[in-house]
Copies of this chain bind each other. A is one copy, B any other.
């Protein structure tokens, strides 16, 4: 993993690939690498769909090794959704396979003429780029079926659906899971539109004949991994709750906390929550021969993903994630698990972010395009995206555009990106993250829910403004570092609560690379990543005024706590002063 594959999609005579060393980017992986390349090489005021933008796909520092949980991939660019820098993170097999192939990053550069469409195939023998007009507008599932026919089932694919080809601002990039289904997505920020603008439909990765990356000190590495895995298994969140119910274990918890936004953030609790909870989904999945406990990539020991079968016991989609269930569920007043699973499938198939898509549908409902609670209408609305109708294009452009086009006032977005499944008034810490993250409205960027609600890493009262900035700061720093390792963010629960698991993570890095990192180095890396991202955003025109929630969160209280967002602007403006 000491080389970068750069493909100039706009080269004369067709796309040209070349390999370079890591050079200035040496020692970086995942988000640290994608953000450094984007910040270093992309003009901040360029058009996100233009030749000057770059799409950077990077496994983490530990991806492709024997380290547990190391299968996350970072996809970075200037975002068509936010206009700022973006790192969108996905599970699935791609990180492990790409890392074994030896690439620290694939960088798609330039732009082909017209609407040329290409397929990229990479294996141990090298890189092949071929015109792929026959794949045009294929949904992800059909596309992957074709790739399987051609390349067999030992591959991993990174692909876009019709939404990416249409360059819609909420288009995602799909990564296949171990069963070669396009279920894991770099959903946020419209990264799929950038891949579409580069004219790349799919990147097929085949690591046949290649082994796991060898650590410098194998023995220490194995020992660290053992402690690391034991820590994850012994923590109640990563060892019990997530494997049993997946991320959707949160529905009942967050609803109980009064922080579960219903009907476009009108309420903090949803009457139908129990009907779409993780517990309900898990039961349904088991009944129908699906599986509530499944790994999304090789080496995952938490296994929070799952398999959702339809009423006939036939695979429909992955177990929908908590935020997906919320966006298509409570936010739209829908409490039908089968409808939500269908919406999840359609999103994955067309290649759109489930969060921005669900929030957009709720906004359309608020504007009267459909009624809250009408699941059939919601399904038809997502199908419009697949058809590429004007209505589908609006919705597929995400929540901010949908709110604008339909004249809605209360539009839950920050920096143009839809807020996820936690009301920032009832969990003030997540409000700080939404407001200040360089990524725009994003829960993963500094997941205060861990501490505000789940009491991991201490406890900060979610209903009070005190302590939230510090909490979000620490979590944003830690997250930026973790997102650079290729580690799944869910390790954070154990890492926050168990000093030995945190040490094991550091030991994994040290034994693999022969380094001498400590806790301070991890913090430094996180700060460095955030600084680079903030610098890019500043040059792209972002100011402290963009580090705010939409006005109504400050003026309209939400039940049941009847409070507004109370963290002071001046305090938030100091979040990145370290």
Q: Is B552 a contact partner of A545 (Cβ separation < 8 A)?
A: no
CB of A199, distance to nearest CB on chain B (Å): 13
Taken residue by residue from 192 to 232, chain A's Cβ proximity to chain B (1 for < 8 Å, 0 otherwise) reads as 01001100000000000000000000000000000000000
A81, closest chain B residue (CB): B404
Taken residue by residue from 497 to 541, chain A's Cβ proximity to chain B (1 for < 8 Å, 0 otherwise) reads as 000000000000000000000000000000000000000000111
Q: A484 at the A/B interface (Cβ < 8 Å)?
A: no
Q: A401 at the A/B interface (Cβ < 8 Å)?
A: yes
Q: Is B551 a contact partner of A545 (Cβ separation < 8 A)?
A: no
Q: A52 at the A/B interface (Cβ < 8 Å)?
A: yes
A196, closest chain B residue (CB): B407
Q: Is B407 a contact partner of A551 (Cβ separation < 8 A)?
A: no
Q: A126 at the A/B interface (Cβ < 8 Å)?
A: no
A540, closest chain B residue (CB): B545
CB of A441, distance to nearest CB on chain B (Å): 15
Q: A46 at the A/B interface (Cβ < 8 Å)?
A: yes
Q: Is B551 a contact partner of A52 (Cβ separation < 8 A)?
A: yes
A46 to B405, CA, bound (A): 18
Q: Is B390 a contact partner of A168 (Cβ separation < 8 A)?
A: no
A549, closest chain B residue (CB): B45
Q: Is B405 a contact partner of A397 (Cβ separation < 8 A)?
A: yes
Q: Is A393 a contact partner of B394 (Cβ separation < 8 A)?
A: yes
Chain B positions within 8 Å of A167 at CB level: 407
**Do A49 and B407 form a contact, CB below 8 Å, given A390-B391, A541-B546?**
yes
Taken residue by residue from 541 to 578, chain A's Cβ proximity to chain B (1 for < 8 Å, 0 otherwise) reads as 11101101011100000000000000000000000000
Chain B positions within 8 Å of A410 at CB level: 47
A405 to B168, CA, bound (A): 7
Q: A50 at the A/B interface (Cβ < 8 Å)?
A: yes
Of the residues B45, B80, B411, contact of A551 by C-beta under 8 Å: B45
Q: Tell me which of A540, A543, A548 has the highest count of chain B C-beta atoms within 10 A of its own C-beta.
A: A543
A369, closest chain B residue (CB): B390
Chain B positions within 8 Å of A47 at CB level: 409-411, 550-552
Chain B positions within 8 Å of A546 at CB level: 541
A566 to B158, CA, bound (A): 40
**Do A404 and B401 form a contact, CB below 8 Å, given A45-B545, A551-B46?**
yes
A52 to B555, CA, bound (A): 11
Q: Is A409 a contact partner of B50 (Cβ separation < 8 A)?
A: yes
CB of A219, distance to nearest CB on chain B (Å): 52
CB of A232, distance to nearest CB on chain B (Å): 42
Q: Is B551 a contact partner of A166 (Cβ separation < 8 A)?
A: no
Q: A324 at the A/B interface (Cβ < 8 Å)?
A: no
Of the residues B196, B389, B548, contact of A390 by C-beta under 8 Å: B389
Q: Is A407 a contact partner of B166 (Cβ separation < 8 A)?
A: yes
Q: A169 at the A/B interface (Cβ < 8 Å)?
A: yes
Q: A272 at the A/B interface (Cβ < 8 Å)?
A: no
Q: Tell me which of A167, A405, A542 has the highest count of chain B C-beta atoms within 10 A of its own C-beta.
A: A405
Chain B positions within 8 Å of A46 at CB level: 551
Q: A10 at the A/B interface (Cβ < 8 Å)?
A: no
Q: A43 at the A/B interface (Cβ < 8 Å)?
A: yes
CB of A123, distance to nearest CB on chain B (Å): 32
Q: Is A401 a contact partner of B393 (Cβ separation < 8 A)?
A: no
A550 to B49, CA, bound (A): 13
CB of A413, distance to nearest CB on chain B (Å): 11
Q: A490 at the A/B interface (Cβ < 8 Å)?
A: no
Chain B positions within 8 Å of A542 at CB level: 541, 543
Q: A459 at the A/B interface (Cβ < 8 Å)?
A: no
Q: Is A548 a contact partner of B404 (Cβ separation < 8 A)?
A: no
A546 to B43, CA, bound (A): 14
A389 to B43, CA, bound (A): 37
Q: Tell me which of A193, A389, A551 has the highest count of chain B C-beta atoms within 10 A of its own C-beta.
A: A551
A98 to B552, CA, bound (A): 34
Q: A406 at the A/B interface (Cβ < 8 Å)?
A: yes
Kindly identify, within residues 366 to 410 of chain A, every residue whose CB is under 8 Å from any CB belonging to chain B: 389-391, 393-394, 397, 401, 404-407, 409-410
A554, closest chain B residue (CB): B45
A47 to B407, CA, bound (A): 11
Q: Is A45 a contact partner of B548 (Cβ separation < 8 A)?
A: yes
Q: Is B409 a contact partner of A393 (Cβ separation < 8 A)?
A: no
A49, closest chain B residue (CB): B409
Chain B positions within 8 Å of A52 at CB level: 551
CB of A390, distance to nearest CB on chain B (Å): 4
Chain B positions within 8 Å of A391 at CB level: 390
Q: Is A397 a contact partner of B404 (Cβ separation < 8 A)?
A: yes
A407 to B196, CA, bound (A): 10
Chain B positions within 8 Å of A411 at CB level: 47
A406 to B396, CA, bound (A): 11
Q: Tell me which of A80, A197, A401 has the highest count of chain B C-beta atoms within 10 A of its own C-beta.
A: A401
- Apart from the given pairs A45-B548, A168-B405, 6 other A-B contacts in the complex at a CB distance below 8 Å: A47-B409, A47-B552, A49-B407, A168-B407, A390-B394, A541-B545
Q: 23 A–B contact pairs at CB < 8 A? A: A45-B545, A45-B548, A45-B551, A47-B550, A47-B552, A49-B407, A49-B409, A50-B551, A52-B551, A168-B407, A193-B407, A196-B407, A197-B407, A197-B409, A390-B390, A393-B406, A394-B405, A397-B404, A401-B401, A539-B545, A540-B545, A542-B543, A543-B543
Measured CB to CB, the residues of A under 8 A from B are 43-47, 49-50, 52, 80, 166-169, 193, 196-197, 389-391, 393-394, 397, 401, 404-407, 409-411, 539-543, 545-546, 548, 550-552
3 closest residue pairs by CB, A with B:
A167-B407, A541-B545, A390-B391
